[in-house]
Structure 1
């Protein structure tokens, strides 16, 4: 029995020569690592290597067509160790792909944007943990400074879509629905207000809503519904406060105001967006939406 070296081996690819081919064109030599050695040196499991190959993140340099053996180049260790580091930051594989697919300066931008979002999320979660601790100790729960106001909202004709959606898919689902509904609004006299996102249930790691996305339109049809006239308690949210999970503080502030003022919420919480404002591109201090909850009017 012939044993292959543990660390590396020499692949000799024979190319059948056509008439006139030089001898140097016939044999190509390259030093490659077995998948086991590459796994140990990269600190990735065999399962992870197969997954990253399937996703196109890190494909073997050579796959034997007869045996299926995978071989890697030594210089692929940089990519493998980069993936290891990014995953230790809990970076989603979709973002890892963005880091790897473009020039290095683009990868740096993706990494910096991702980590800035992580720090914002951690800051929110730190504050939330402190508020929940105060509540458990019997103290009064504090919320970030939001000014809760009331307003009367007239009946609205709404062209909408409703769908169960999990948290990772929420933004893409809402963005896609707004684009579709905006196009369809032309058949209903055009849009007469900014997009609305209704949360008929929680959207988090354990719950999938459902979520309804709507565009206020001028004329009704079988495809529209009527949102009744109502009194709302609401807060205005800036771009800096809009990112998840920071925006949850706005919902908490409205709910706490309702409780403290002994009012009753009577409908789905919703985000009402400004006309012509793209929240993603807005400046940090720019107002992008209101978080609102329909309430029962106070007794006289």
Structure 2
């Protein structure tokens, strides 16, 4: 059955019935949507017809529904999933704008990450990796001895971001009972973490009170493979990267740039590489600096 035509009462006025209702064909033309899309939006509760004829199954719409129909069409042009579109159109004015802002922030973060990945892959494929390395400014910093509480885990690259966020969150909460956090949290890679290799990686949070930290580890250490250790004073060679550059594999360009610099300076890598997270990850935008990629050197 095709409900794109009038029905028993006809569509003598360009698809409009005598009672002012529009056929699905006429409404689709006015809303700049296809009849197929309107049927889908009806099933999802996004845009329900004002009236459905019980005998024919034909759908009819009010002219006043055009604004919502066009809103749905515009949101879909942003590649917004239908479930998210439903949240926006059913929200109040300020709430709807907030939902759109949240979605678009996710889009911008994804595009920024894809852009850095494209740069990385372009350099790899063209054999010009050295040009990418030159974009990273490498410096050194002396870090004093630190007491750290830590969690270790064997993890693949795909699982790493979620685990880093969760483990550092647990450790920062635990640090309240260990005299507080004294320096930026960091993640140490004791072996390669990639799509095929699972590390292990170690999340670390420097704390003030070693005795309290050891008491905490004694009580809770086994639950998350946690421990307390003293991180010796080190000199780090590092480069600062943005949130968009942190994702794997584009972050590898930063690690490789630091390694190239260390070699060029006649220095020696003196320990496992690490990522130092010095700012609020959730509050940062895709182009904001969030992390130092570093190697201990001597």
Q: Deviations over 1:148-182 (max 9, x none)?
A: 42646536432336474775993x65444434322
For residue 41 of structure 1, report the CA deviation from its aligned partner.
Answer: 0.8
Does the CA contact (< 8 Å) of 1:32 and 1:72 recur in 2?
Answer: yes
Residue of structure 1 in register with 2:116 after alignment: 124
- 2:277 aligns with one of 270, 273, 278: 273
Q: Deviations over 1:83-139 (max 9, x none)?
A: 43122xxx6778767765564654664566456545644553453344324526x97
Does the CA contact (< 8 Å) of 1:159 and 1:215 recur in 2?
Answer: yes
Residue of structure 2 in register with 1:135 after alignment: 127
In 2 relative to 1, CA 284–85 (structure 1 residues): closer, same or farther, beyond 3 Å?
A: closer
Does the CA contact (< 8 Å) of 1:155 and 1:228 recur in 2?
Answer: yes
Residue of structure 2 in register with 1:5 after alignment: 3
The higher relative CO (CA closer than 8 Å, separation ≥ 6) is in: 2
Does the CA contact (< 8 Å) of 1:272 and 1:289 recur in 2?
Answer: yes
For residue 254 of structure 1, report the CA deviation from its aligned partner.
Answer: 1.5
The unaligned stretches of length 5 or more in structure 2 are 9-19
Counterparts of 1:43 and 1:211 in 2: how far apart (Å)? 50
For residue 144 of structure 1, report the CA deviation from its aligned partner.
Answer: 0.6
Alignment of 1:86-165 (within 5 A): 86-87=78-79, 101=91, 103=93, 105-106=97-98, 109-110=101-102, 113-114=105-106, 116-117=108-109, 120-121=112-113, 123-135=115-127, 142-149=133-140, 151=142, 154=145, 156-160=147-151, 162=153, 164=155
Counterparts of 2:134 and 2:237 in 1: how far apart (Å)? 15
Counterparts of 2:114 and 2:71 in 1: how far apart (Å)? 28
> RMSD across aligned C-alpha pairs, in angstroms?
5.3
Residue of structure 1 in register with 2:261 after alignment: 257
- 1:191 aligns to 2:158 (yes or no): no
For residue 235 of structure 1, report the CA deviation from its aligned partner.
Answer: 1.8
Does the CA contact (< 8 Å) of 1:9 and 1:33 recur in 2?
Answer: no
Residue of structure 2 in register with 1:16 after alignment: none
In 2 relative to 1, CA 155–111 (structure 1 residues): closer, same or farther, beyond 3 Å?
A: closer
TM-score by length of 2: 0.56
For residue 212 of structure 1, report the CA deviation from its aligned partner.
Answer: 4.4
In 2 relative to 1, CA 150–215 (structure 1 residues): closer, same or farther, beyond 3 Å?
A: closer
In 2 relative to 1, CA 286–165 (structure 1 residues): closer, same or farther, beyond 3 Å?
A: same
Aligned to 2:119, what secondary structure does the other structure show? helix
Alignment of 1:75-86 (within 5 A): 75=66, 76-86=68-78
> May I ask how many residue pairs the two structures share in their alignment?
254
Counterparts of 1:179 and 1:265 in 2: how far apart (Å)? 28
In 2 relative to 1, CA 177–78 (structure 1 residues): closer, same or farther, beyond 3 Å?
A: farther
Does the CA contact (< 8 Å) of 1:158 and 1:214 recur in 2?
Answer: yes
For residue 201 of structure 1, report the CA deviation from its aligned partner.
Answer: 1.4
- 2:34 aligns with one of 41, 57, 73: 41
